Amino acid sequence: MSRPPFSGSFTQQEPIPDEAIEAALTVLRSGRLHRYNTVPGDEGQAAALERDYAAWQEARFCLALASGGQAMQIALRAAGVSPGDRVLSNAFTLAPVPGAIAALGAEPVLVEITEDLVLDLDDLAQKAHASGAGWLLLSHMRGHLCDMDRLVGLAEALGVRIIEDCAHTMGARWNGRRSGNFGLAGCFSTQTYKHLNAGEGGLLTSDDAAFMARATVLSGSYMLYDRHGAGPAPDTYADIRLDTPNLSARMDNLRAAILRPQLARIDDAIARWNARHDRVAGHLSACARIRLPARPPQEAYVGSSIQFLVPGIAAEAARGFLAQCAARGVELKWFGAPEPVGFTSAHASWRYVPAQALPRTDRILSGLFDMRLPLTFTLEDCDLIARHILDAAAALPA
């Protein structure tokens, strides 16, 4: 091996900022970790986070939740999804997305993806007609946005309501409009590997008052919904407060305190992620064996990970490529593996979802590789990592 192996960690995030640590200590010293345990005149960190995030997201309402998965489940329930209903979603996503649909007793209808890793809108239209599904849980998987203008028009024509899973697109935009603002609701994650780090957590945004009132009561607000920082007017809850069950999925003040200082820095973090993404992409784009998904000019992305395809690669060669990269210290994920590994899985392993024929997606995933780009990497680290990937690609059979 002519180059030194990469010795960094692909799971090491930046430290929590000092201001966040101090805010967390203040909450701990108060003993008031529950979001509704406040004193007169104290807004509480969870309510303040909702207010801050709604303003940053450019949304009317925001609800702080226990996880991104809970944000999706509550959004689906608040949107009216019931057991037995069919919900459209991407065939290429992570397990919490179809899991949120299955958790309601609803049936995921999986839609093919394109070579650029986004929803195939033609297949969406066909499956919406065939299934009669009235909802789309759209996963912006690994930070790739489909043609959102065309999607919105198509959804309106089909009578399909859009809920966006923005776990990988917090801060991304399409034609200047933030991801999460194109449908009924946007669902965000603050799990450690996402763009804000609370260990676990979620945020739900919407401009629809009745929807957000239902979501707030579902989250476990009891009759304390007036203590939210970016919620609907109290009269919105008149009937909703009595007709809606409590799922106890609130975010606590401790996690909110950790998140607020990070939110103040997120635009700088996005710029640094994109610098790392573009540095690696610049190297990989020169390799004839490797294809990068296209990034249309309307898309302003958040490059906290990078994906690339090796079209036509056989399974044995893919496993060898992974091993070659691992020997160089480069940790890749492969979506073509027959069994789930860690966080990575494909639709065939979601046995709680009815089996569906998705030949185009299967072909794409068979050659799809994925890599995290934590901000603890330097640009020089990105150069070394990319060169190791290119060395391993050069050793692939012709």
pLDDT at 218 over 60: yes
Share of the chain above pLDDT 70, in %: 100
The separation between CA 305 and the C-alpha centre of its own chain, rounded to angstroms, equals: 12
pLDDT > 80? residue 133: yes
pLDDT in tens, 76-100: 999 999 999 999 999 999 999 999 9
Q: What is the dihedral of CA 168, 174, 176, 177, to 10 degrees?
A: -70
Read off the pLDDT of each residue in 230-237 and give the average, rounded to a whole number.
97
Res 211 pLDDT > 70: yes
- Strand bridging mode 185-189 / 161-165: parallel
Q: Which whole number is the average pLDDT over 110-131?
A: 98
- The pTM (predicted TM-score) of the whole model is 0.97
Tens-digit pLDDT profile for residues 354-364? 999 999 999 99
Domains and CATH numbers, the chain: 18-264 (3.40.640.10), 266-394 (3.90.1150.10)
Reported confidence tier of residue 122, pLDDT bands at 50, 70, 90: very high
Instruction: List, for residues 251-274, the tens digit of each pLDDT value.
Output: 999 999 999 999 999 999 999 999
The mean pLDDT of 165-187, rounded to a whole number, is 98
Residue 398 has pLDDT above 90, yes or no: no
Provide mean pLDDT across the span 38-60: 96
Q: What is the pLDDT of residue 1?
A: 52
**What are the backbone dihedrals phi and psi of residue 141, each rounded to the nearest 5 degrees, phi first?**
-60, 130
Among 38-47, 195-204, 264-273, where is mean pLDDT lowest? 38-47
Q: Give strand pairing partners of 188.
A: 203
Q: How far apart are the first and last CA of the chain?
A: 21
